[in-house]
Amino acid sequence: MKLLFKFDDSSFYKSTCVFLNDENHSWRDEYVRIYLDTLKFDSSIKLADLSINKDYVSTDVMDAVIDKDKVYLGFSLYLPEDRPADYNPSEEKYYIVDREELTYLARRWYRFIQRPVELKQPDYQEIIDSEDAYK
């Protein structure tokens, strides 16, 4: 998956994450993009901490659950021990993403959005290939 990190055209203070090629992506990729675009720093630290085998790393918009080397991204997700009494597995909608890949993308995203203000130019962009996580 190739993502384009750029600054919003209307204000270079707003970072945004979009697909490099809008016609060639899956729903899984869309979940990853939304997750990155709404990710908070504390969740990205948990994501990178390999001593954590199971935990929530959700954003305000999307649920995310670490399960060893995978991350479940979706909606209405629960760890088995946290499921409510009225839990219905058919309500879960999720995609599984390799934890190493998602951690790599999160690190690159944070490096991008933490650029000093004077370096945030409306035409500055970075192309990120998730396959680079495995190199």
Do residues 8 and 14 touch, judged by C-beta distance below 8 A?
A: yes
The ranges assigned to domains in the chain are 2-134
User: How far is it, in rounded angstroms, from Cα 27 to Cα 110?
Assistant: 23
User: How far is it, in rounded angstroms, from Cα 102 to Cα 87?
Assistant: 27
- Residue 17: pLDDT over 70: no
Q: Which residue has the tokens 């203070």?
A: 13
**What pLDDT, on a 0 to 100 scale, did the predictor assign at position 13?**
54
One-character DSSP codes across 60-74: SS-EEEEETTEEEEE
pLDDT tens per residue across span 58-117 = 888 999 999 999 999 998 888 888 889 998 888 888 999 999 999 999 999 888 888 776
Please provide the size of the chain in residues: 135
